Structure 1
Amino acid sequence: MKKIIKIFRIISTLEAISFLVLLGIAMPLKYIWELPKMVEIVGMAHGVLFLLYIAGAVYVSQLLNWSTKTLAIVVLCSILPFGPFYAERKYLP
Structure 2
Amino acid sequence: MDLKTASSLHRLRLVSAPEAVSFLLLLVCSVLKRTTDFNAVPVMGAVHGVLFVIYVILWLDAWRRATWSLGTAALYFALSVLPGGGFVAERRLRREAEAEVAASRARHEGAVGA
Distance 1:64 1:31 in 2: 42
Distance 2:78 2:36 in 1: 31
Distance 1:74 1:60 in 2: 10
Runs of 4+ in 1 over 2 A off after TM superposition: 1-7
Match of 1:10 among 8, 14, 18: 14
Greater percentage in helix: 2
Distance 1:31 1:10 in 2: 32
Distance 2:69 2:9 in 1: 17
User: Are 1:31 and 2:31 an aligned pair?
Assistant: no
Structure 1 vs Structure 2 CA RMSD: 1.5
Distance 1:12 1:21 in 2: 14
User: Are 1:74 and 2:76 an aligned pair?
Assistant: yes
* % same residue: 34
- Give 1 or 2 for the bigger CA radius of gyration: 2
Displacement of 1:10: 1.8
Deviations 1:41-85 (A, max 9, x none): 011000111111111111011121111111111101111111111
Runs of 5+ in structure 1 lacking a partner? Answer: none
Aligned residues: 91
Distance 2:25 2:90 in 1: 19
TM-score scaled by structure 2? 0.72
Runs of 5+ in structure 2 lacking a partner? Answer: 98-114
Q: Is contact 2:20–2:85 with CA below 8 Å preserved after alignment?
A: yes
